[in-house]
């Protein structure tokens, strides 16, 4: 079952940066791109556990702060490295509240955004 969890305000995340939030019992990293889009991933790098919210964001690319692995924020796929990230749908409401969709077990919802022109 998908849960909708309010995380905080988008204004808490400067453009081009990320922040870590607790979503139930799961930590997620939420990124606010310079062009205003939001993305959510697992909080820790699958390689060495680096804090992804501290990474560099450029467009839809995230660079891990520890070992410079790169990931596509839209899909979670590794651009460099050997494994990808878990991603989650996140939206900002009209009042700026971030809402994350997450399964009760911490997994991704059974559907994913694939038409990135609409994000």
Tens-level pLDDT at each residue, the chain (119 residues)? 788 999 999 999 999 999 999 988 889 999 999 999 999 999 999 888 899 999 999 999 999 999 889 999 999 999 988 888 999 999 999 999 999 998 877 665 554 444 444 44
Is 35 within the bounds of a domain? yes
Structural domain boundaries enclosing 55: 2-104
> Residue 83: which of 73, 66, 70 has the closest Cα?
70
Per-residue model confidence (pLDDT) at position 117: 44
- Beta-strand relationship, 70-72 and 61-63: antiparallel
The three-class DSSP label of residue 4 is strand
Per-residue model confidence (pLDDT) at position 106: 61
What is the pTM assigned to this prediction? 0.86
Is 111 within the bounds of a domain? no
The CATH number for 58's domain is 2.102.10.10
């Amino acid at each position: 079952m998908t849960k909708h969890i309010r995380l905080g305000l988008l204004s808490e995340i400067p453009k081009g940066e990320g922040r870590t939030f607790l979503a139930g019992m799961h930590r997620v990293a939420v990124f606010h791109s310079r062009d205003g889009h939001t993305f959510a991933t697992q909080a820790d790098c699958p390689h060495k556990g680096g804090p992804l919210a501290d990474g560099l964001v450029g467009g839809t690319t995230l660079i891990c702060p520890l070992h410079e692995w790169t990931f596509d924020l839209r899909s979670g796929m590794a651009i460099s490295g050997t494994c990808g990230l878990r991603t989650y749908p996140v939206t900002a409401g009209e009042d700026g509240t971030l809402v994350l969709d997450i399964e009760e077990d911490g997994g991704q919802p059974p559907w994913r955004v694939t038409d990135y022109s609409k994000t």
